[in-house]
Amino acid sequence: MILWLGIGIGLLTGLGLSRWRGQPYRPPMLTHIWLVFVGFLPQFFAIYFWKTRIAIPDRITVLCLIASQLTLFVFAWLNRRLPGMWILIVGLIFNLVVMVVNGGFMPISPQAAGRLVGEEIVSNLVLGNRFGFKDILLPTHETRLELLADRFLPPASFPYQVAFSLGDIFITFGAFWLLAYQRPNT
């Protein structure tokens, strides 16, 4: 996930700027951080923990994903005065909207999915069904708000291949800015 890249580079940038200015690193003063953990729990059980993932039907998984996104939005909103948080909020809104209008999962085109797992595998999959953990395989012409779907891919030579959305880019840049921003001492 590109979010981890934004967090890592943002933290390194913030630490570097602090060192360059000869001051200690000041992490952002986030409030209600517990909402991040609460927001991640529905995703964890519906998507990542294999024992519950196989037992939870898709309609419940959709509710878990939406609940997770909404909880993360509330956290971001409560911290909206911090640098970069508005960019992150826009990304959360983009992802939430495209998921809701496409049935609750993040749409991915067969072309993008083919780059991830191979065209032969994708040709045997049923359009409109889940792909991976959080995506739904939809042709571009059937995807509502396709510009916001998981449509971006790193260069083929990049060692880790993952599809990501415009919302993911905004979330990543917002997290980067949040961690990198260091106001100089006055």
**Cα distances (angstroms) measured from residue 38 to each of 2, 134, 155:** 21, 18, 34
Round the average pLDDT of the chain to a whole number and report it: 94
Domain assignment present for residue 137? The answer is: yes
Domain assignment present for residue 122? The answer is: yes
Task: Specify burial of residue 83 (Cβ count, 10 A radius: 0-12, 13-18, 19+).
Answer: middle
In this prediction, residues 35-63 reach a mean pLDDT of 93
Reduced to 3 states, what is the DSSP secondary structure of residue 69? helix
**What digits encode the pLDDT tens for the residues 53-87?**
889 999 999 999 999 999 999 999 999 999 999 99
**Is 186 a residue whose pLDDT tops 70?**
no
**Is 16 a residue whose pLDDT tops 70?**
yes
Domain assignment present for residue 160? The answer is: yes
Give the residue, 177 or 133, on which the prediction is more confident: 177
Domain assignment present for residue 54? The answer is: no
Domain assignment present for residue 84? The answer is: yes
- For tokens 């595998």, what's the residue? 121
The answer to whether residues 32 and 78 touch, using CB atoms and an 8 Å cutoff, is yes
Domain assignment present for residue 75? The answer is: yes
Q: What residues are paired with 137 via a beta bridge?
A: 108
Q: Which tokens in the block code for residue 94?
A: 């983009």
Cα angle 74, 27, 177 (rounded to 5 degrees) comes to: 65
Domain count, the chain: 1
**What digits encode the pLDDT tens for the residues 107-141?**
999 999 999 999 999 999 999 999 988 999 999 99
**What digits encode the pLDDT tens for the residues 84-114?**
999 999 999 999 999 999 999 999 999 999 9
Domain assignment present for residue 173? The answer is: yes
The fraction of the chain above a pLDDT of 90, given in percent, is 89
Domain assignment present for residue 186? The answer is: no
Q: 109 lies in which domain range?
A: 2-24+69-180
**Is 185 a residue whose pLDDT tops 80?**
no
